[in-house]
C-alpha cells in the first residue's frame, strides 16, 4: 500500500477536520501518500482529488465543518456507480480509503472493499446513532452548542414566564435530546425511542409555575415531531404561554470540543493502522473511551443503544 484516500460524507460534523488531520499525519509518518477526495462519494466518482500534505492539515484541528466538503450522494447505492468510483481510485493509484460519515457512508465503504479497495469507516455524525459505538465524531460539540443556545433561551423564557419547546437534531435518535435536556435542566425530555405522556408533561409544567418556577423547558428530539406541533398539543392541557423553537443546523457548526478533537484523532490514527495491517470492511467505534472495530455488515443489523438512564434521572427530579 502506497497511497490512501480520505473522504467525508453525509451531514458534516465538528471534529471531521481533526480526523482528516490525524489520518493524514499518521499515514505520512508511515511513508504513505494521502489524497483528499472532495465532496464525498460524489467527488470520488467525479475524480475530484487533491493531494494532502502535513502542512495542509496543520491548522485544521480547531475548525468546524469539513475542509474536504461533504455531500449526500444516494446514487452510490448503485453497483455501476460504485464501479466507477473504484475505477477512479485505481486510475489515481489509491489503494485504500478512509470514509468519515454516518451510517449511509458505511454502505459505500463496504462496496469499495468488495471491489478490492480496502476501506474503513469512521463514525462522523452529530446524531450519535451508529450501532456498536458509544460515540460519534461531532456529538459532543453539537450537544455543547445546543446547550449554550438553550441557556440563552432560558433567559428570555424566564423574563416572560414562558414555556419553550426546543427541537434538537438527531434524526430518529434521542441521544442529543437526552444529554442536552439533562444538561439544560429541562422539565421534560421527549425522544423517539420512548413513549411519552403529553398530559403528564403539561401537569409537570403547570406544577412548576405553581411552585414558583419562572419558566418551563421541554427538549424535544426532532424525530418525535416539530416543536410547533408539540406546543399545540401541549396547550390542550395547560393554559401557559408557550413558544416552539427549532435549533436546526447551528448544531452542526462551530469549533469542535476537546472530546471531539481527541476521539477523532484517536480513531483517525487507529484507522490508518488497520489499513496498514491490510484490513478493510471495518467500522471504527469507541468503547470505554478506546477505539475498537466491528464488521460493517454487523452494523447494518445492529441498533444503536442510547443511555436511557438519563431519562430516568431527569424524571425522578421533575415529575410530580
Active-site residue list: 127
User: Is residue 247 a contact residue for ligand F6P (CB under 6 A)?
Assistant: no
Interacting span for ligand F6P (CB under 6 A) from 22-30, 124-132, 200-208, 286-294 = 124-132
Q: Which residue among 43, 123, 170, 244 contacts ligand F6P (CB under 6 A)?
A: 170
Q: Residue-wise over 248-268: b if at least 16 C-beta within 10 A, else e?
A: eeebbebbbbebbbebbbbbb
Range 95-114, binding ligand F6P (CB under 6 A): 102
User: Is residue 60 a contact residue for ligand F6P (CB under 6 A)?
Assistant: no
CB of residue 284 to ligand F6P, shortest distance in Å: 18
Q: Which residue among 126, 191, 271, 283 contacts ligand F6P (CB under 6 A)?
A: 126
Q: Establish whether 211 is an annotated binding residue.
A: no
Q: Establish whether 33 is an annotated binding residue.
A: no
User: Is residue 169 a contact residue for ligand F6P (CB under 6 A)?
Assistant: yes
CB of residue 287 to ligand F6P, shortest distance in Å: 22
Q: Which residue among 26, 66, 125, 314 contacts ligand F6P (CB under 6 A)?
A: 125
Range 189-228, binding ligand F6P (CB under 6 A): 222
Q: Establish whether 178 is an annotated binding residue.
A: no
User: Is residue 133 a contact residue for ligand F6P (CB under 6 A)?
Assistant: no
Range 254-313, binding ligand F6P (CB under 6 A): none
Binding-site residues from annotation: 11, 21-25, 72-73, 102-105, 125-127, 154, 162, 169-171, 185-187, 213-215, 222, 243, 249-252
Residues that bind ligand F6P (CB under 6 A): 11, 102, 125-127, 169-171, 222, 252
Amino acid at each position: 500500500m502506497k497511497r490512501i484516500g480520505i473522504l467525508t460524507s453525509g451531514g458534516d460534523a465538528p471534529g471531521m477536520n481533526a480526523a482528516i488531520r490525524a489520518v493524514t499525519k499518521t499515514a505520512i509518518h508511515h511513508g504513505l501518500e494521502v489524497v483528499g477526495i472532495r465532496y464525498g462519494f460524489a467527488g470520488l466518482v467525479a475524480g475530484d482529488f487533491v493531494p494532502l500534505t502535513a502542512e495542509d492539515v496543520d491548522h485544521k484541528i480547531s475548525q468546524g465543518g469539513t475542509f474536504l466538503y461533504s455531500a449526500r450522494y444516494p446514487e452510490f447505492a448503485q453497483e455501476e456507480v460504485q464501479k466507477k468510483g473504484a475505477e477512479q481510485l485505481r486510475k489515481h493509484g489509491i489503494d485504500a480509503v478512509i470514509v468519515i460519515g454516518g451510517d449511509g457512508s458505511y454502505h459505500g465503504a463496504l462496496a469499495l472493499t468488495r471491489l478490492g479497495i480496502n476501506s474503513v469507516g469512521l463514525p462522523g455524525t452529530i446524531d450519535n446513532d451508529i450501532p456498536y459505538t458509544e460515540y460519534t465524531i461531532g456529538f459532543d460539540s453539537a450537544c455543547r452548542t445546543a446547550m449554550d443556545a438553550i441557556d440563552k433561551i432560558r433567559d428570555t423564557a424566564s423574563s416572560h414566564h414562558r414555556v419553550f419547546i426546543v427541537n434538537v437534531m438527531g434524526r430518529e435518535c434521542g441521544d442529543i435530546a437526552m444529554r442536552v435536556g439533562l444538561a439544560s435542566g429541562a422539565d421534560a425530555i421527549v425522544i423517539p425511542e420512548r413513549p411519552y405522556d403529553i398530559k403528564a408533561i403539561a401537569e409537570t409544567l403547570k406544577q412548576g409555575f405553581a411552585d414558583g418556577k419562572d419558566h418551563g423547558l421541554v427538549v424535544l428530539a426532532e424525530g418525535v415531531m416539530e416543536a410547533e406541533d408539540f406546543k399545540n398539543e401541549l396547550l390542550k392541557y395547560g393554559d401557559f404561554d408557550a413558544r416552539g423553537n427549532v435549533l436546526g443546523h447551528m448544531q452542526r457548526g462551530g469549533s469542535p470540543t476537546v472530546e471531539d478533537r481527541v476521539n477523532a484523532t484517536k480513531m483517525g490514527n487507529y484507522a490508518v493502522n488497520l489499513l496498514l495491517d491490510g484490513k478493510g470492511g471495518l467500522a471504527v467505534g469507541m468503547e470505554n473511551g478506546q477505539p475498537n472495530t466491528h464488521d460493517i455488515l454487523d452494523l447494518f443489523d445492529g441498533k444503536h443503544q442510547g443511555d436511557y438512564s438519563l431519562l430516568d434521572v431527569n424524571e425522578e427530579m421533575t415529575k410530580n
